[in-house]
């Protein structure tokens, strides 16, 4: 769940209205983007890689909303970037289904909640500042299917 929040985890595309406080996401480099998880680096520096990247996604909407998928669960919230590189989420609404064997859901929820900072390097999104430590690496989500 927490990666959903983070995505989150991994994340993590919208504009925050001025009543939400902080900098609007309108001119932000996350605005209108979608990402899928490449890996989660845990606090002990071990790495978890999803069996299917498309099951771990985050979309930063242009309307101040963020939506995530963490395997069999989904969540939504608001997001904003009060200053460069800083990321804040509002309260989350989410599902709580039990995901199948091999899922990264539980690790993401327990270890990867609420990233507080981000940067984009070489076309990849990195989220860090997790409560327990660690970070996410995400790549742009492509919706085109190969034939």
Per-residue pLDDT tens over the stretch 22-63: 344 455 889 999 999 999 998 888 999 999 999 999 999 999
For domain 2-140, give its CATH number from 3.20.20.70, 2.40.128.270, 1.20.58.1030, 3.40.120.10: 2.40.128.270
- Integer CA distances (angstroms), 123 to 35, 60, 139, in order: 11, 16, 7
Q: Is the pLDDT of residue 95 over 60?
A: yes
Q: Where are the domains of the chain?
A: 2-140
Token output for 91: 């309260």
Please report the pLDDT score of residue 109 as a whole number: 78
Contact 10, 3 (CB under 8 A): yes
- Compute the distance between CA of residue 15 and CA of residue 32 in angstroms, rounded to an integer: 9
Q: Is the pLDDT of residue 87 over 70?
A: yes
Taking phi over 0 as left and psi of -120 to 50 as alpha, with beta for the rest, 3 belongs to alpha
For the chain, what is the radius of gyration of the CA atoms?
14
Q: Is the pLDDT of residue 18 over 50?
A: no
Tell me the whole-structure pTM to 2 decimals.
Answer: 0.78
Mean pLDDT across the chain: 79
- Compute the distance between CA of residue 1 and CA of residue 111 in angstroms, rounded to an integer: 10
């Amino acid at each position: 769940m927490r990666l959903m929040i983070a995505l989150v985890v991994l994340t993590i595309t919208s504009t925050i209205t001025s009543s939400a406080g902080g900098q609007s996401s309108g001119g932000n480099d996350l605005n209108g983007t979608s990402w899928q998880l490449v890996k989660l680096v845990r606090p002990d520096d071990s790495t978890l890689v999803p069996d299917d990247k498309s099951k771990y996604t985050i979309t930063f909407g242009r309307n101040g909303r963020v939506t995530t998928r963490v395997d069999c669960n989904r969540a939504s919230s608001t997001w904003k970037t009060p200053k460069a590189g800083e990321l804040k989420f509002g309260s989350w609404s989410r599902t709580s289904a039990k995901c199948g064997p091999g899922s990264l859901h539980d690790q993401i929820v327990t270890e990867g909640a609420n990233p507080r900072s981000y940067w984009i390097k070489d076309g990849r999104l990195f989220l860090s500042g997790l409560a327990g430590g660690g970070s996410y690496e995400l790549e742009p989500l492509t919706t085109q299917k190969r034939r």
